[in-house]
Chains A and B, each alone.
Chain A
Amino acid sequence: MIEVQELKKNFNKVEALRGISFNVKPGIIFGLLGPNGAGKTTNIRIISTIIKPTAGKVLVDGIDIDKNPDRARAKLGILYENAGLYRRLTGEENVLYFAGLFGLDMTTAKKRMKDFFEVLEIDYAKRIAGQYSKGMSQKVALVRALIANPPIVMLDEPTAGLDVTSSVKVRESLNYLKENGKTVIVSTHLMSEVEALCDEVVIIDRGLLVEQGSPKDIKNRYNSSNLEEAFIKVVKK
């Protein structure tokens, strides 16, 4: 579903990504792991065409993002760590605005939005987003990411700064997405989250891909009882 080939990214003299390659198969939850500053967000920004790679290639559902960035973006729904809602618009208006930008007709968008609001127990979407807590914003932003029914959903630190209840809700929604045939890429540094959710992971450290496989394989490879322990061994290697 996503092919990342020899991806490099330099910010002036800093090498943020140093030749990363991985494939994300369709219909799985894929974890992008690494300590702070490892290059996870840079990866997501390149895939979402916000920034251009210094070298390498990315295919999103077979589309070369360098040649057809608009078409590639139409395949992606993205949830950012900062929800990025328009604070003077209501939750509904935020979602419908993005539905329009993805070219969705309003009847379908409204029906789909209502369904998502029910699943995520959002009953505050008629209020303006400036009144929401971080958890409330994240849930609306998730609906905004899903409204166009994209085949791939990317989530950058989706539970960062959320309370326990909201985190659980977001985690449940990732399984819901998988059950509904979506390919989910989640970038996080929370190992428990990854262990519970992800089918496959890659670990990035200082711009290099240092490990990949299923959480179970990585634990076995490093003879660890949990992924956190294995992760520490990987990044210290």
Chain B
Amino acid sequence: MKTQLIFLKELKDAFRDKRTIIMTIVIPTLLIPLMLFGQFFIQKTEIERAQEQVVKLIYSGPADIKELLVVDKKIVFLPFSDEIGKKIEEKDADAALVIQDGKAVIHYDPTKPTSAYASQKLKNYLLIYSEKVIEARLQNIGLDPNIIKVFDIKEESVASPSKMGAFFAAMLIPIMILSIGISGNMYLFSDIGAGEKERGTLEPLLATPAKRQEIATGKWLAVSSLSFFSIVLMLVVMLLTINYGQPLFLMPGQEGASLKLEPIALIILTLGGLLLALSGGALQFTISIWARNIREAQLYLGYLPMVVILPVVFLNIMGIMGNIPNWSYYIPLINLYPIIYTAIMNEMVFSKILIALSTNTLLTILGIMLVTRILNREEVILRT
């Protein structure tokens, strides 16, 4: 009963802080669409910009190659200069093509996108030119130019749009869920632990008949439930964006993807989110109540995402390569990455889910026991 009262008070208190609305509702709602739209917008803009780019070229070489290049209205020829490097460095030229004694050298600066694009464009023209020359030479000696073609290569994907959607989502979603779960409500955890000490509200609370365990549980559940809400919201927005938002960001001719999750995968995803909110919350609350003040709590809590996310980034790479190591299922919090990943990819292994469930439950119980013990330790609760 008192746990429920503390839970409700903490929720009310949290929702009067604008940061809660931003971190719990606004960020999870906007993050996925923004990332998807942002990524595709940048890609589209870059392609359009490249198509429009005029290459300033310094050229020295055979006239027939120049004739081929002159046709391209997006190439402007500059007078030849001995200071090619300087011209490119100072952006007076994008690239230089020097052909002499059967050798074609493209001078460019790979650190400048316009120069790198110019180099690529020149390479393509040189390939076209080479093919034409070979074709002409073969014809001159009476041979069919197709003689040098062994076969035409064509790639055809057998992955369904649903599988592509899952692959795409699995690269992005687990890391984002873990980030939101482990750091989204960091300020609230620092507030309910170290913040209460700093503001002098913890002592009056501890002097009420409420048991330490009721206080610890009520506070932890309140903020963890907000984290869980954020995770669920993010999952819903992710499904909606991938399935219904694509026409808004796909370019003409680009293939789309869809994401259809089996009911069991949805249950496992929700369970993973719940475990993350509860065990991550217990860990954050323990750190916060141990800290002297909000500043110290935020400092310690600031390192937590690094500790969790860094191994997850490596797991993400291994996941994309289809090789998530078994040991990762035994480390609480981190093991939620493979659980979420395999749920999205519909490759769940229930024995491994059970391991993750057990280790995270253990972390949660230990965390709350530790907070309860800390609330009884005067040297911790009175230090500020």
What is A's interface to B at a CB cutoff of 8 Å? 45, 48-52, 70-71, 73-74, 76, 78, 80, 82-89, 93, 97-98, 100-103, 128, 141, 144
Q: Which 4 A-B pairs have the closest CB atoms?
A: A82-B200, A51-B378, A101-B208, A88-B16
- B1-49 residues with Cβ-Cβ distance < 8 A to A are 2, 5-6, 9, 12-13, 16-17
Chain A residues whose C-beta falls within 8 Å of the C-beta of B5 in the assembled complex: 97, 100-101
**What CA separation (Å) do A141 and B200 show in the bound complex?**
12
Q: Which A residues are CB-close (under 8 A) to B378?
A: 45, 50-52
Q: Which residues of A contact B201 (CB under 8 A)?
A: 84-86
Question: DSSP class of B's interface residues: helix, strand, loop or mixed?
Answer: helix
In the assembled complex, the Cα of A50 lies from the Cα of B376 at a distance in Å of 8
Whether B207 pairs with A89 at a CB distance below 8 angstroms is no
Q: Which residues of B contact A (CB under 8 A)?
A: 2, 5-6, 9, 12-13, 16-17, 199-211, 378, 381-382
B200-A84 in contact (CB<8A): yes
Interface centre among B6, B12, B204, B209 (most CB of A within 10 A): B204
In the bound assembly, the distance between CA atoms of A99 and B382 in angstroms comes to 24
| Subset of 12 A-B contacts with CB under 8 Å | A50-B207, A50-B381, A74-B209, A76-B207, A80-B204, A84-B202, A86-B9, A88-B13, A89-B13, A98-B204, A100-B2, A101-B208
What DSSP secondary structure best describes chain A's contact surface? loop
Q: How far is the CA of A45 from the CA of B199 in the complex (A)?
A: 17
Residues of chain A within 8 A of B2, CB atoms compared: 100-101
Shortest CB distance A146–B (Å): 13
On whether A98 and B203 interact (CB within 8 A), knowing A50-B381, A51-B378, A93-B12, the answer reads no
How far does the alpha carbon of A73 sit from the alpha carbon of B207 in the complex, in Å?
6
Given contacts A48-B207, A97-B5, A103-B209, 7 further A-B contacts (CB under 8 A): A50-B206, A50-B382, A52-B378, A76-B207, A80-B204, A89-B16, A98-B204
In the complex, which residues of chain B have a beta carbon less than 8 angstroms from the beta carbon of A87?
A: 199
- Nearest opposing residue in chain A for B10, CB measure: A86
User: Do the beta carbons of A80 and B200 come within 8 Å of each other?
Assistant: yes
Cβ-defined contact, A78 with B204, below 8 A: yes
Task: Determine the chain B residues whose CB is within 8 A of the CB of A102 once the complex forms.
Answer: 208-209
Q: Is there an interface contact between A88 and B17, defined as CB atoms closer than 8 Å? A: yes
Chain A nearest Cβ from B200, distance in angstroms: 4
Q: Whole-angstrom distance between the alpha carbons of A7 and B5 in the complex?
A: 35
Q: How far is the CB of A61 from chain B (nearest CB, A)?
A: 13
Closest Cβ neighbor of B15 among chain A residues: A88
The residue in chain B whose Cβ has the minimal distance to the Cβ of A100 is B5
